[in-house]
């Protein structure tokens, strides 16, 4: 297999030679074409994804729409061009004691990118997902290590992207899929000489392994791994007092969405021990009992869920509040547990993600314990506050803690459902990701696949168009400290 994987990477590097010089307009054309071809696959693609994941067809209509919207958005970003952060500091030849040179910089594509997708989103976070489209938008070629949980979906996507590439006049290998279910493959691709960066979405153990493989390379490369998270939710007193039924309903929906197989699933709920919290706990259990159980994505994820769940529920101090116990092959029962803050503080194993429809209420003895526990959790993709203005006024210290803990802070709404916007951050401190400076969702995701280059005293004709005096692309640039679209 190694010869095959090597050929794939050689080809990716060869195609990158030209593709890195494509214009933003050309990349927009490619991304729009890919979206068009994926849409033209109609129900065949949705059906295949549904068959391979046990998720309903309707879910994939939504996931494909999101994937294609994301693709077109990145196409627009590529064509608009300001993402390259062009900066020009013009020369001052008569500066004393030394003349100041003309300095111009912009971001350029980093090289062939290897992408590992997660099994829970075969479209939005896998072969045609955010990592692939942001890398193509930046001008990088892409090699995807297909997830063995949905091989037929990946094969359809691969054919669609390659067809679109050829229709746009590019070699098919601007995008390539490697199908293999061995860890050796992931290791090989990560360590290949031509790999310039890696994007990963999946478990903490997987992301950490890929990151570690990259550390063993002679030439270091960045690994942008987005991994699991428990997405702590804070229930503040005034909000809970006035909105307990609505919060319980919203959280029950969020905990069970996609059979709990979302990286933004609210796995930890923090509140202060009181009759209001008890009332809320009963409401949440009732709401969960109204939601049917479904099959999980695949046997591996189901086994992990049941194993981690048993170990969580067997832990000293953990009380099972609701356990759906619905029968069927790979059917995941929703579970709500509760533990006192004292036990939670003493047992770090309770901090870990249980990937599935599970959530645990941490009943804290007072606000001091709640904030301490929240603050001591590992880095998170999201954290949520159910709060009123009165709650926030009473606890101004919460803002700083939230910011240091997570990449996205949600107010009075559930963490599941990640909007693709220019402002989105889907990232956070380790172990949510391996690089908290970046996001894997939202248009800033493109920044992972580029590096800055500075041209000093370069003749105008030699500069990339983004930096030439007349600003032929009409992009926003920072010229001598001021943002402008005007020519020099």
Residues that bind ligand NAP (CB under 6 A): 116, 118-120, 125, 145, 147-148, 181-183, 186-187, 201-203, 205-206, 209-210, 226-228, 263, 301, 353, 355, 381, 426, 440
Q: What whole-number distance in Å separates Cα of residue 381 and Cα of residue 49?
A: 26
Residue 249 CB, nearest approach to ligand NAP (Å): 24
End-to-end CA separation in angstroms for the chain? 53
DSSP character string of 152-214:
HHHHHHHHHHHHHHHHTTS-GGGEEEE----HHHHHHHHH-TT--EEEEES-HHHHHHHHHHH
Neighbours of 93 (CB within 10 A): 9
Q: Which is nearer to ligand NAP, 130 or 139 (CB)?
A: 130
Element (H, E) at 31: helix 24-40
Active-site residue, 226 included: yes
Choosing from 68, 140, 185, 263, the catalytic residue is: 263
Tell me the two tokens of residue 100. Answer: 């100041």
**Structure tokens that stand for 189 in this block:** 């691709």
Closest approach, Cβ 457 to ligand NAP, in A, equals 43
Contact between 487 and 470 (Cβ < 8 Å): yes
Q: Which is nearer to ligand NAP, 203 or 369 (CB)?
A: 203
From the list 63, 226, 287, 353, the catalytic residue is: 226
Nearest approach, Cβ of residue 448 and ligand NAP (Å): 13
**Shortest approach of ligand NAP to residue 256 CB, angstroms?**
15
CB neighbour list of residue 346: distance below 8 Å, 6 or more residues apart: none
Min separation Cβ 62 and ligand NAP, Å: 16
Q: Are 358 and 267 in contact (CB under 8 A)?
A: yes
Whose Cβ is closer to ligand NAP: residue 319's or residue 435's?
435
Q: Which of 209, 129, 188 lies closest to 4, judged by CA?
A: 188
Name residues whose C-beta falls within 8 Å of residue 336's C-beta, 6 or more positions apart in sequence: 255, 281, 284, 285, 288, 320, 321, 322, 323, 358, 359, 360, 361
Select 139 or 232, whichever has its Cβ closest to ligand NAP.
232
**Tokens coding 264:** 């933004």
Which CB atom, from 120 or from 281, has the smaller least distance to ligand NAP?
A: 120
Q: What contacts 65, CB < 8 A, 6 or more positions away?
A: none
Q: How far is the CB of 270 from ligand NAP (least distance, A)?
A: 20
In the complex, minimum distance from the CB of residue 277 to ligand NAP, in angstroms, rounded to a whole number:
27
Nearer to ligand NAP among residue 118 and residue 277 (C-beta): 118
Which is nearer to ligand NAP, 127 or 284 (by Cβ)?
127
Backbone φ, ψ for residue 323 (5° rounding): -140, 110
Position with the least CB separation from ligand NAP: 206
CA dihedral 327, 332, 334, 338 (to 10 degrees): 110
Contact criterion met (CB below 8 Å) for 197 and 224: yes
Show which residues are catalytic: 226, 263
């Amino acid at each position: 297999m190694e010869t095959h994987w090597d050929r794939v990477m050689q080809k990716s590097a060869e195609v990158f030679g030209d593709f890195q010089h494509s214009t933003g307009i050309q990349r927009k054309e490619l991304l729009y074409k890919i979206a068009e071809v994926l849409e033209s696959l109609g129900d065949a693609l949705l059906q295949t994804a549904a068959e391979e994941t046990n998720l309903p067809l309707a879910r994939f209509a939504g996931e494909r729409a999101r994937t294609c919207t994301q693709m077109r958005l990145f196409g627009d970003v590529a064509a608009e061009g300001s993402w390259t952060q062009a900066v020009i500091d013009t020369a001052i030849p008569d500066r004393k004691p030394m003349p100041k040179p003309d300095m111009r910089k912009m971001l350029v594509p980093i090289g062939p990118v290897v992408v590992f997708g997660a099994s829970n989103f075969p479209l939005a976070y896998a072969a045609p997902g955010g990592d692939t489209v942001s890398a193509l938008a930046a001008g990088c070629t892409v090699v995807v290590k297909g997830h063995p949980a949905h091989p037929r979906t990946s094969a359809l996507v691969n054919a669609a992207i390659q067809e679109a590439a050829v229709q746009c006049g590019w070699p098919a290998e601007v995008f390539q899929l490697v199908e293999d279910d061995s860890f050796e493959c992931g290791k090989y691709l990560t360590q290949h000489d031509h790999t310039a960066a890696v994007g990963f979405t999946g478990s903490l153990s997987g992301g950490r392994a890929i990151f570690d493989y990259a550390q063993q390379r002679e030439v270091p490369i960045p690994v942008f791994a987005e991994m699991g998270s428990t997405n702590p939710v804070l229930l503040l007193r005034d909000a809970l007092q006035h909105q307990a039924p609505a919060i319980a309903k919203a959280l029950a929906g969020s905990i069970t969405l996609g059979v709990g197989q979302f990286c933004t699933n609210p796995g930890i709920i923090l509140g202060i021990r009181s009759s209001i919290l008890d009332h809320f706990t009963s409401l949440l259990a009732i709401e969960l009992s109204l939601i049917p159980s479904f099959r999980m994505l695949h046997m591996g994820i189901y086994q992990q869920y049941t194993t981690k769940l048993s170990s969580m529920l067997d832990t000293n101090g953990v009380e099972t509040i609701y356990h759906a116990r619905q029968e069927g092959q790979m059917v995941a029962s929703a579970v709500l547990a509760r533990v006192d803050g004292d036990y939670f503080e003493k047992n770090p194993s309770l901090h870990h993600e249980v990937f599935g429809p599970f959530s645990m209420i941490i009943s804290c003895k007072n606000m001091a314990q709640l904030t301490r526990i929240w603050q001591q959790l590992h880095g998170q993709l999201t954290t949520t506050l159910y709060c009123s203005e009165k709650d926030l006024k009473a606890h101004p210290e919460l803002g700083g803690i939230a910011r240091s803990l997570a990449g996205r802070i949600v107010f009075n709404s559930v963490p599941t459902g990640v909007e693709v916007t220019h402002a989105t951050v889907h990232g956070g401190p380790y172990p949510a990701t391996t690089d908290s400076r970046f996001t894997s969702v939202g248009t800033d995701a493109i920044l992972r696949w580029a590096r800055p280059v500075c041209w000093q005293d370069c003749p105008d004709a030699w500069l990339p168009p983004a930096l030439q005096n007349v600003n032929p692309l009409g992009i926003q640039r920072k010229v001598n400290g001021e943002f402008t679209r005007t020519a020099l």
